Amino acid sequence: MTGTMFARRVVITGLGGLTPVGATMPSTWEALLAGRSGIGPITRFDASDLPVRIAGEIPDFDPLQVMSQKQANRSARFAQLAVAAARESVADAGLDLEREDPARIGAAMNTAVAGMGEIAGAEDARADGGWRAVASTFVPSVIPNMPASHVSMALGLHGPVTAAALACASGNYAVLDAARMIAADEADVMIAGGSDASIGPLMFSGLSMMGALSRNNDHPTEASRPFDADRDGFVYGEGAVALVVESLEHATARGATIYAEVLGGALTSDGFHIAAPEPSGRYAAAAIAGALSRSGLAPQDVGTSTKANDRTETMAIRSAFGDAADRVAISSPKSMVGHLIGGAGALSLAVCALAIRDQTVPPTINLHTPDAECDLDYVPNTAREMPVRVALTNAFGFGGQNCVVAIAAFTG
């Protein structure tokens, strides 16, 4: 039987996002269901001297569509994308901000990498032109709270505004954090999600030195292949996803359409390594089990789990779900969009909400050669229509930060 860990019931009423496969959440969802990849050659900079020359880029983004020229000049790309996603999510939720109390609406927009690309560019400018070549807006434009702060400024919000960096778990945690604030009656509505946009030579040099990235430059659409035996690393991507999260009372009072209910979540730490997961997956499993128990769920209640960490995540799912693990459908959006880092968990949650709405699970593409150590149902290559009542998102970040969130179909 499902329940909730929150003193006030919390629901998702709006979605917005920009990803390598779509400039909006509907177009992203359509591409994901079709199994369409957004991975291609890097165009944002000259990568010809790097061993990795592919990425998941967002094409043709114009910040002037969502903010003024002055605001664009004072913000970095990762914050601009967050504003665009937030605006879309508010419109999708039918939330009339002119009729709302701005003190009761906040933003929890997280990031992992923040303005690394802009930092590298500013250092190049300083090296070439001296300290006066660095813009006066440089520092406030690149710090990690800027997505949340720019969203609050763009939308006129005066409730709680938070930013947290949990590496790849950042976007997932934003929704859990927002739900906790609503439950504590600090806000009625929160714009929650994640954003990152650091496709640049510094990031790709560092990740290439780590050996973390796929080098399948000749076949970019096939490079991101979670759970496949021939995987050779992840593909770096950029993107922003925002969800409107609000109390059930507030959503009901304004007649909002509800995608799903946020039941609960859990956080654990591997305490093991700066990049590698703890090999047994025991602490990732503890996060999954914690999210289940706090949400009043049994393993057999779960319909789909998104986001992938391959062998370790497979072990964690088996540990947490036991015999029910073989009946869990697992989908990895990053097979199509790459790893959106701070935006990844938020995209996974949005995908789960849409899977619940449409009773359809998007595929994990490029899964052609089974890996004996990854032996679960990853919904290979083709979307699947199936009953989806409950979904978990697993997000496991660098540094061993694990965040799992459970959502379910709203049943009144």
pLDDT tens by residue, 77-92: 999 999 999 999 999 9
The full set of domains in the chain, from first to last, is 10-253 (3.40.47.10), 264-408 (3.40.47.10)
**What pLDDT does 308 receive?**
45
Q: Which helix (H) or strand (E) holds 405?
A: strand 401-408
Q: How far apart are CA 121 and CA 283, in angstroms?
A: 38
pLDDT at residue 305 is higher than 90: no
Average confidence score pLDDT of the chain: 95
**What pLDDT does 309 receive?**
61
pLDDT tens by residue, 171-204: 999 999 999 999 999 999 999 999 999 999 999 9
3-state helix, strand, coil in the chain (%, to 5): 40, 20, 40
DSSP state, 36?
Answer: -
CA distances from 24 to 19, 20, 204, 360 (A): 8, 10, 26, 19
What single letter denotes the amino acid at residue 93?
Answer: A
- The stretch 284-312 carries a mean pLDDT of 83
Q: pLDDT band at residue 307, thresholds of 50, 70 and 90?
A: very low
Go through 203-230 and write b for each residue having 16 or more CB atoms within 10 A of its CB, e for each that does not. bbbebbeeeebbebeeebbbbbbbbbee
**What pLDDT does 306 receive?**
53
Locate 150 and state its tokens.
Answer: 């720019």
Q: How far apart are CA 299 and CA 247, in angstroms?
A: 26
DSSP string, 336-373: HH-B-GGGHHHHHHHHHHHHHHHTEE--BTT--SBBTT
CA distances from 397 to 112, 208, 287 (A): 9, 18, 13
